[in-house]
Structure 1
Amino acid sequence: MGDVKQSRRERAQETRQRMVAAAYRRFTEEGYAATPMDAIARDAGVAVQTLYFTFRTKGELLQAAYEHAVEGADRVPPHLSEWWRAAEEAPDIGTAVRLFVAGTITVFERAAPLVWAVLGDENARKSYEYNDGLRRAGYERAIAFLTAKHPLRDGLSSTRARDILLVVIGPQLYSQFTRDLAWTPQEVADWMTVAVLEQLFGVSVGDDQAE
Protein backbone atom coordinates (compact mmCIF):
# COMPACT_ATOMS: atom_id res chain seq x y z
CA MET A 1 0.00 0.00 0.00
CA GLY A 2 2.86 2.32 0.87
CA ASP A 3 4.45 1.76 -2.53
CA VAL A 4 1.17 2.62 -4.24
CA LYS A 5 0.90 5.89 -2.30
CA GLN A 6 4.52 6.72 -3.08
CA SER A 7 3.93 5.99 -6.75
CA ARG A 8 0.88 8.26 -6.78
CA ARG A 9 2.82 11.05 -5.10
CA GLU A 10 5.64 10.66 -7.59
CA ARG A 11 3.24 10.77 -10.54
CA ALA A 12 1.51 13.83 -9.09
CA GLN A 13 4.88 15.54 -8.61
CA GLU A 14 5.94 14.69 -12.15
CA THR A 15 2.68 16.09 -13.50
CA ARG A 16 3.12 19.26 -11.45
CA GLN A 17 6.66 19.73 -12.72
CA ARG A 18 5.47 19.23 -16.28
CA MET A 19 2.83 21.93 -15.85
CA VAL A 20 5.32 24.34 -14.28
CA ALA A 21 7.86 23.74 -17.04
CA ALA A 22 5.19 24.33 -19.68
CA ALA A 23 4.14 27.56 -17.98
CA TYR A 24 7.75 28.74 -17.79
CA ARG A 25 8.24 28.12 -21.52
CA ARG A 26 5.01 29.87 -22.48
CA PHE A 27 5.54 32.86 -20.17
CA THR A 28 9.11 33.44 -21.36
CA GLU A 29 8.25 33.05 -25.04
CA GLU A 30 4.88 34.81 -25.21
CA GLY A 31 4.56 36.84 -22.02
CA TYR A 32 2.35 36.34 -19.00
CA ALA A 33 -0.81 38.17 -20.04
CA ALA A 34 -0.76 36.71 -23.56
CA THR A 35 -0.57 33.11 -22.37
CA PRO A 36 -3.91 31.35 -21.79
CA MET A 37 -4.15 28.60 -19.22
CA ASP A 38 -5.56 26.13 -21.74
CA ALA A 39 -2.41 26.50 -23.86
CA ILE A 40 -0.26 25.63 -20.85
CA ALA A 41 -2.46 22.65 -20.05
CA ARG A 42 -2.23 21.45 -23.65
CA ASP A 43 1.57 21.74 -23.63
CA ALA A 44 1.73 19.81 -20.34
CA GLY A 45 -0.61 17.11 -21.59
CA VAL A 46 -3.24 17.65 -18.90
CA ALA A 47 -6.81 18.91 -18.72
CA VAL A 48 -7.15 22.60 -17.92
CA GLN A 49 -9.20 21.57 -14.87
CA THR A 50 -6.14 19.71 -13.57
CA LEU A 51 -4.08 22.87 -13.98
CA TYR A 52 -6.59 24.93 -12.00
CA PHE A 53 -7.01 22.20 -9.37
CA THR A 54 -3.25 22.20 -8.78
CA PHE A 55 -2.57 25.95 -8.86
CA ARG A 56 -6.01 27.54 -8.46
CA THR A 57 -4.99 30.76 -10.23
CA LYS A 58 -2.70 31.88 -13.02
CA GLY A 59 -0.85 33.99 -10.47
CA GLU A 60 -0.02 30.93 -8.37
CA LEU A 61 1.25 29.18 -11.50
CA LEU A 62 3.49 32.17 -12.26
CA GLN A 63 4.91 31.98 -8.73
CA ALA A 64 5.61 28.28 -9.21
CA ALA A 65 7.39 29.12 -12.47
CA TYR A 66 9.52 31.70 -10.63
CA GLU A 67 10.48 29.17 -7.99
CA HIS A 68 11.22 26.58 -10.68
CA ALA A 69 13.55 29.05 -12.41
CA VAL A 70 15.31 30.31 -9.29
CA GLU A 71 15.73 27.04 -7.40
CA GLY A 72 16.52 24.80 -10.36
CA ALA A 73 16.07 21.06 -10.61
CA ASP A 74 17.31 20.48 -7.06
CA ARG A 75 14.72 22.95 -5.66
CA VAL A 76 17.28 24.66 -3.42
CA PRO A 77 16.90 28.40 -2.63
CA PRO A 78 20.04 30.39 -3.53
CA HIS A 79 21.00 31.21 0.08
CA LEU A 80 21.01 27.48 0.92
CA SER A 81 22.98 26.41 -2.14
CA GLU A 82 26.54 25.11 -2.26
CA TRP A 83 27.82 28.11 -4.22
CA TRP A 84 26.40 30.52 -1.61
CA ARG A 85 28.03 28.55 1.19
CA ALA A 86 31.32 28.53 -0.72
CA ALA A 87 31.15 32.32 -1.07
CA GLU A 88 30.44 32.69 2.65
CA GLU A 89 33.43 30.51 3.51
CA ALA A 90 35.84 32.06 1.00
CA PRO A 91 39.05 33.38 2.61
CA ASP A 92 39.08 36.80 0.92
CA ILE A 93 36.76 39.35 -0.66
CA GLY A 94 37.92 38.74 -4.22
CA THR A 95 37.20 35.02 -4.09
CA ALA A 96 33.92 35.58 -2.26
CA VAL A 97 32.62 38.05 -4.84
CA ARG A 98 33.67 35.86 -7.76
CA LEU A 99 31.90 32.83 -6.27
CA PHE A 100 28.80 34.85 -5.43
CA VAL A 101 28.57 36.33 -8.92
CA ALA A 102 29.22 32.98 -10.61
CA GLY A 103 26.49 31.30 -8.58
CA THR A 104 24.04 34.12 -9.22
CA ILE A 105 24.72 33.90 -12.95
CA THR A 106 23.63 30.25 -12.92
CA VAL A 107 20.33 31.38 -11.42
CA PHE A 108 19.97 34.21 -13.96
CA GLU A 109 20.46 31.82 -16.86
CA ARG A 110 17.16 30.23 -15.82
CA ALA A 111 15.32 33.11 -14.16
CA ALA A 112 16.27 36.22 -16.15
CA PRO A 113 14.21 35.28 -19.23
CA LEU A 114 11.10 35.00 -17.05
CA VAL A 115 11.83 38.27 -15.24
CA TRP A 116 12.36 40.00 -18.58
CA ALA A 117 9.12 38.57 -19.97
CA VAL A 118 6.93 39.81 -17.10
CA LEU A 119 8.74 43.09 -16.47
CA GLY A 120 6.25 45.92 -16.90
CA ASP A 121 3.27 43.54 -17.15
CA GLU A 122 0.71 44.95 -14.70
CA ASN A 123 -0.97 41.55 -14.48
CA ALA A 124 2.26 40.07 -13.11
CA ARG A 125 3.31 42.99 -10.90
CA LYS A 126 2.34 41.38 -7.59
CA SER A 127 4.40 38.27 -8.26
CA TYR A 128 7.32 40.27 -9.66
CA GLU A 129 7.45 42.55 -6.62
CA TYR A 130 7.22 39.62 -4.22
CA ASN A 131 10.13 37.81 -5.84
CA ASP A 132 12.20 40.97 -6.17
CA GLY A 133 11.66 41.41 -2.43
CA LEU A 134 13.14 37.95 -1.86
CA ARG A 135 16.15 38.92 -3.97
CA ARG A 136 16.53 42.12 -1.92
CA ALA A 137 16.53 40.13 1.31
CA GLY A 138 19.05 37.68 -0.13
CA TYR A 139 21.39 40.48 -1.15
CA GLU A 140 21.19 41.93 2.35
CA ARG A 141 22.50 38.57 3.61
CA ALA A 142 25.22 38.73 1.00
CA ILE A 143 26.30 42.22 2.05
CA ALA A 144 26.53 40.99 5.65
CA PHE A 145 28.93 38.14 4.89
CA LEU A 146 30.93 40.11 2.32
CA THR A 147 31.54 43.04 4.66
CA ALA A 148 32.81 40.58 7.27
CA LYS A 149 35.69 39.93 4.86
CA HIS A 150 36.37 43.51 3.75
CA PRO A 151 34.88 46.90 4.74
CA LEU A 152 32.75 48.87 2.31
CA ARG A 153 34.48 51.82 0.67
CA ASP A 154 34.43 55.06 2.60
CA GLY A 155 31.04 56.75 2.83
CA LEU A 156 29.02 53.80 1.52
CA SER A 157 26.28 52.49 3.80
CA SER A 158 25.19 48.86 3.80
CA THR A 159 21.80 49.92 2.41
CA ARG A 160 23.38 51.74 -0.52
CA ALA A 161 25.71 48.79 -1.06
CA ARG A 162 22.71 46.49 -1.25
CA ASP A 163 21.02 48.84 -3.72
CA ILE A 164 24.08 48.85 -5.97
CA LEU A 165 24.26 45.07 -5.77
CA LEU A 166 20.60 44.80 -6.79
CA VAL A 167 21.29 46.76 -9.97
CA VAL A 168 24.78 45.54 -10.87
CA ILE A 169 23.95 41.87 -10.23
CA GLY A 170 20.40 42.06 -11.56
CA PRO A 171 18.41 39.94 -14.01
CA GLN A 172 17.53 42.98 -16.11
CA LEU A 173 21.16 43.93 -16.66
CA TYR A 174 22.07 40.30 -17.27
CA SER A 175 19.36 40.08 -19.94
CA GLN A 176 20.50 43.27 -21.65
CA PHE A 177 24.08 42.06 -21.83
CA THR A 178 23.29 38.52 -23.00
CA ARG A 179 20.10 39.01 -25.01
CA ASP A 180 20.63 42.43 -26.59
CA LEU A 181 24.43 42.76 -26.69
CA ALA A 182 25.42 39.10 -27.18
CA TRP A 183 27.79 38.90 -24.19
CA THR A 184 28.47 35.42 -22.89
CA PRO A 185 27.44 34.59 -19.29
CA GLN A 186 31.13 34.38 -18.38
CA GLU A 187 31.81 37.85 -19.80
CA VAL A 188 28.91 39.21 -17.77
CA ALA A 189 30.18 37.44 -14.64
CA ASP A 190 33.68 38.91 -15.11
CA TRP A 191 32.28 42.43 -15.54
CA MET A 192 29.95 42.11 -12.55
CA THR A 193 32.78 40.85 -10.35
CA VAL A 194 34.99 43.82 -11.20
CA ALA A 195 32.10 46.26 -10.77
CA VAL A 196 31.16 44.91 -7.33
CA LEU A 197 34.73 44.89 -6.06
CA GLU A 198 35.33 48.45 -7.23
CA GLN A 199 31.97 50.03 -6.45
CA LEU A 200 31.31 48.40 -3.09
CA PHE A 201 34.75 47.77 -1.67
CA GLY A 202 37.10 50.09 -3.53
CA VAL A 203 39.18 47.06 -4.49
CA SER A 204 40.73 46.95 -7.96
CA VAL A 205 41.21 43.68 -9.80
CA GLY A 206 44.95 43.79 -9.17
CA ASP A 207 44.57 43.72 -5.40
CA ASP A 208 41.27 41.87 -4.97
CA GLN A 209 42.82 39.45 -2.51
CA ALA A 210 42.89 42.15 0.17
CA GLU A 211 41.95 40.96 3.61
Structure 2
Amino acid sequence: MLEFTVEDMSAEEVARMQAIYEPLAISVRELVDATIRSEVDAETVAAVKADIDAATARLRSKQIVGAFGVRRTPSGQSMSWGNAVIGLRNPIAPPLVIHRDDDGRRWCDFHLGAAYEGPPGHVHGGVSALVLDHVLGEAASPDTKPRFTGSITVRYLRACPLGPLHSEAQITRVDGVKTFVSGYISDADGITVEAEGVFITPRWLRDRLR
Protein backbone atom coordinates (compact mmCIF):
# COMPACT_ATOMS: atom_id res chain seq x y z
CA MET A 1 0.00 0.00 0.00
CA LEU A 2 1.39 3.40 -1.00
CA GLU A 3 1.30 5.64 2.05
CA PHE A 4 3.15 8.89 2.54
CA THR A 5 2.95 12.27 4.23
CA VAL A 6 1.92 15.31 2.21
CA GLU A 7 4.24 18.06 3.35
CA ASP A 8 2.96 21.51 4.27
CA MET A 9 -0.70 20.71 3.67
CA SER A 10 -3.00 22.40 6.16
CA ALA A 11 -6.52 21.31 7.07
CA GLU A 12 -7.79 24.27 5.07
CA GLU A 13 -5.90 23.13 1.97
CA VAL A 14 -7.27 19.58 2.34
CA ALA A 15 -10.80 21.00 2.58
CA ARG A 16 -10.16 23.15 -0.52
CA MET A 17 -8.99 20.13 -2.51
CA GLN A 18 -11.99 18.12 -1.34
CA ALA A 19 -14.32 20.87 -2.49
CA ILE A 20 -12.69 20.74 -5.95
CA TYR A 21 -12.46 16.99 -6.56
CA GLU A 22 -15.38 15.44 -4.68
CA PRO A 23 -18.06 17.07 -6.91
CA LEU A 24 -16.22 15.69 -9.97
CA ALA A 25 -16.37 12.14 -8.59
CA ILE A 26 -20.06 12.59 -7.80
CA SER A 27 -20.74 13.71 -11.37
CA VAL A 28 -18.83 10.76 -12.82
CA ARG A 29 -20.70 8.41 -10.49
CA GLU A 30 -23.95 9.81 -11.89
CA LEU A 31 -22.54 9.37 -15.40
CA VAL A 32 -21.88 5.68 -14.73
CA ASP A 33 -25.45 5.20 -13.53
CA ALA A 34 -26.83 7.11 -16.50
CA THR A 35 -24.68 5.09 -18.93
CA ILE A 36 -26.12 1.83 -17.62
CA ARG A 37 -29.73 2.98 -17.65
CA SER A 38 -29.91 5.31 -20.67
CA GLU A 39 -32.09 4.49 -23.69
CA VAL A 40 -31.24 7.52 -25.84
CA ASP A 41 -30.70 7.14 -29.58
CA ALA A 42 -27.41 6.21 -31.27
CA GLU A 43 -26.67 9.78 -32.39
CA THR A 44 -26.97 11.04 -28.80
CA VAL A 45 -24.76 8.22 -27.53
CA ALA A 46 -22.08 9.09 -30.10
CA ALA A 47 -22.19 12.79 -29.18
CA VAL A 48 -21.97 12.04 -25.47
CA LYS A 49 -19.04 9.66 -26.05
CA ALA A 50 -17.19 12.41 -27.89
CA ASP A 51 -17.81 14.80 -25.00
CA ILE A 52 -16.59 12.22 -22.48
CA ASP A 53 -13.47 11.45 -24.51
CA ALA A 54 -12.67 15.16 -24.69
CA ALA A 55 -13.20 15.61 -20.95
CA THR A 56 -11.02 12.57 -20.21
CA ALA A 57 -8.22 14.01 -22.34
CA ARG A 58 -8.40 17.29 -20.40
CA LEU A 59 -8.14 15.47 -17.07
CA ARG A 60 -5.22 13.36 -18.32
CA SER A 61 -3.24 16.45 -19.32
CA LYS A 62 -1.79 16.46 -15.80
CA GLN A 63 -2.00 13.45 -13.48
CA ILE A 64 -0.03 11.43 -10.95
CA VAL A 65 1.82 8.23 -11.83
CA GLY A 66 0.05 5.11 -10.57
CA ALA A 67 -2.60 4.96 -7.83
CA PHE A 68 -3.57 7.66 -5.34
CA GLY A 69 -2.39 5.72 -2.27
CA VAL A 70 -2.99 6.92 1.27
CA ARG A 71 -1.77 10.43 1.92
CA ARG A 72 -1.43 11.93 5.37
CA THR A 73 -0.98 15.54 6.34
CA PRO A 74 1.70 16.46 8.89
CA SER A 75 -1.09 16.55 11.51
CA GLY A 76 -1.99 12.92 10.73
CA GLN A 77 -5.17 13.54 8.74
CA SER A 78 -5.75 10.62 6.36
CA MET A 79 -6.63 11.12 2.69
CA SER A 80 -7.71 7.70 1.33
CA TRP A 81 -9.33 9.44 -1.61
CA GLY A 82 -8.65 6.73 -4.18
CA ASN A 83 -10.06 3.88 -2.06
CA ALA A 84 -12.60 1.68 -3.88
CA VAL A 85 -15.02 1.78 -0.92
CA ILE A 86 -14.60 5.15 0.79
CA GLY A 87 -12.61 7.22 -1.72
CA LEU A 88 -14.20 10.62 -2.25
CA ARG A 89 -12.30 10.98 -5.54
CA ASN A 90 -13.21 7.47 -6.72
CA PRO A 91 -16.47 7.26 -8.72
CA ILE A 92 -16.44 3.47 -8.24
CA ALA A 93 -16.83 3.90 -4.47
CA PRO A 94 -20.48 4.16 -3.22
CA PRO A 95 -18.83 5.86 -1.15
CA LEU A 96 -19.19 4.60 2.41
CA VAL A 97 -18.94 7.04 5.32
CA ILE A 98 -17.90 5.03 8.37
CA HIS A 99 -19.19 6.07 11.80
CA ARG A 100 -17.50 5.09 15.05
CA ASP A 101 -19.23 4.44 18.36
CA ASP A 102 -17.52 4.54 21.75
CA ASP A 103 -18.13 0.81 22.21
CA GLY A 104 -16.00 -0.01 19.17
CA ARG A 105 -18.84 -0.56 16.72
CA ARG A 106 -18.32 0.70 13.17
CA TRP A 107 -21.37 1.30 11.00
CA CYS A 108 -22.60 3.04 7.88
CA ASP A 109 -25.73 3.64 5.84
CA PHE A 110 -25.20 3.67 2.09
CA HIS A 111 -26.89 3.22 -1.27
CA LEU A 112 -25.94 0.79 -4.04
CA GLY A 113 -27.46 1.45 -7.45
CA ALA A 114 -27.29 -0.05 -10.93
CA ALA A 115 -23.47 -0.03 -11.10
CA TYR A 116 -23.28 -2.70 -8.37
CA GLU A 117 -25.78 -5.19 -9.81
CA GLY A 118 -25.14 -8.93 -9.94
CA PRO A 119 -28.38 -10.92 -10.00
CA PRO A 120 -31.11 -8.74 -11.56
CA GLY A 121 -32.12 -6.03 -9.11
CA HIS A 122 -29.66 -7.25 -6.46
CA VAL A 123 -26.13 -6.50 -5.30
CA HIS A 124 -23.28 -8.53 -6.80
CA GLY A 125 -21.93 -10.93 -4.17
CA GLY A 126 -18.40 -9.67 -4.73
CA VAL A 127 -19.52 -6.12 -3.97
CA SER A 128 -21.10 -7.28 -0.70
CA ALA A 129 -17.80 -8.97 0.20
CA LEU A 130 -15.89 -5.77 -0.71
CA VAL A 131 -18.09 -3.67 1.57
CA LEU A 132 -17.84 -6.14 4.46
CA ASP A 133 -14.08 -6.49 4.10
CA HIS A 134 -13.74 -2.73 4.48
CA VAL A 135 -16.21 -2.30 7.35
CA LEU A 136 -14.71 -5.23 9.26
CA GLY A 137 -11.25 -3.80 8.64
CA GLU A 138 -12.33 -0.45 10.06
CA ALA A 139 -13.66 -2.19 13.18
CA ALA A 140 -10.40 -4.15 13.52
CA SER A 141 -8.41 -0.90 13.63
CA PRO A 142 -9.86 1.06 16.56
CA ASP A 143 -6.66 3.04 17.13
CA THR A 144 -6.59 4.12 13.43
CA LYS A 145 -3.53 1.89 12.94
CA PRO A 146 -4.33 -0.58 10.15
CA ARG A 147 -4.91 -4.29 10.56
CA PHE A 148 -4.94 -6.12 7.24
CA THR A 149 -7.26 -8.91 6.15
CA GLY A 150 -5.88 -12.36 6.92
CA SER A 151 -9.09 -14.18 6.04
CA ILE A 152 -12.77 -13.39 5.72
CA THR A 153 -15.73 -15.76 5.59
CA VAL A 154 -18.89 -14.41 3.98
CA ARG A 155 -22.32 -16.02 4.30
CA TYR A 156 -25.06 -14.96 1.93
CA LEU A 157 -28.33 -15.42 3.82
CA ARG A 158 -30.53 -14.09 1.03
CA ALA A 159 -30.31 -11.88 -2.04
CA CYS A 160 -29.26 -8.35 -1.13
CA PRO A 161 -31.43 -5.82 -3.00
CA LEU A 162 -30.04 -2.73 -4.67
CA GLY A 163 -30.96 0.47 -2.84
CA PRO A 164 -30.50 1.73 0.73
CA LEU A 165 -28.44 -0.59 2.93
CA HIS A 166 -26.80 -0.68 6.35
CA SER A 167 -23.58 -2.33 7.49
CA GLU A 168 -21.85 -2.65 10.82
CA ALA A 169 -19.04 -4.60 12.47
CA GLN A 170 -17.37 -5.07 15.84
CA ILE A 171 -14.33 -6.82 17.32
CA THR A 172 -15.19 -10.16 18.95
CA ARG A 173 -11.74 -10.94 20.39
CA VAL A 174 -8.03 -10.25 20.07
CA ASP A 175 -5.34 -12.94 20.15
CA GLY A 176 -1.84 -11.51 19.81
CA VAL A 177 -1.42 -10.05 16.34
CA LYS A 178 -4.82 -11.42 15.25
CA THR A 179 -8.01 -9.39 15.65
CA PHE A 180 -11.30 -11.25 15.13
CA VAL A 181 -14.25 -9.26 13.82
CA SER A 182 -17.83 -10.00 12.80
CA GLY A 183 -20.32 -7.90 10.88
CA TYR A 184 -23.16 -7.80 8.40
CA ILE A 185 -25.10 -5.97 5.71
CA SER A 186 -28.83 -5.48 6.15
CA ASP A 187 -31.80 -3.97 4.34
CA ALA A 188 -35.17 -2.87 5.73
CA ASP A 189 -36.15 -6.52 6.30
CA GLY A 190 -33.04 -7.61 8.18
CA ILE A 191 -29.62 -9.14 7.56
CA THR A 192 -28.77 -10.19 4.01
CA VAL A 193 -25.06 -10.98 4.28
CA GLU A 194 -22.88 -11.64 7.31
CA ALA A 195 -19.14 -12.13 7.68
CA GLU A 196 -16.38 -13.04 10.09
CA GLY A 197 -12.80 -11.98 9.54
CA VAL A 198 -9.32 -12.31 10.99
CA PHE A 199 -7.22 -9.17 10.65
CA ILE A 200 -3.47 -9.14 11.16
CA THR A 201 -1.29 -6.43 12.69
CA PRO A 202 1.44 -5.80 10.07
CA ARG A 203 5.02 -6.45 11.09
CA TRP A 204 6.06 -2.81 10.81
CA LEU A 205 3.29 -1.83 13.23
CA ARG A 206 4.16 -4.61 15.68
CA ASP A 207 7.65 -3.13 16.00
CA ARG A 208 6.17 0.30 16.78
CA LEU A 209 3.78 -1.07 19.41
CA ARG A 210 6.48 -2.89 21.42
TM-score interval (norm. to shorter): 0.3 to 0.5
TM-score (norm. length: structure 1): 0.36
TM-score (norm. length: structure 2): 0.36
Select the structure that is richer in strand: 2
Select the structure that is richer in helix: 1
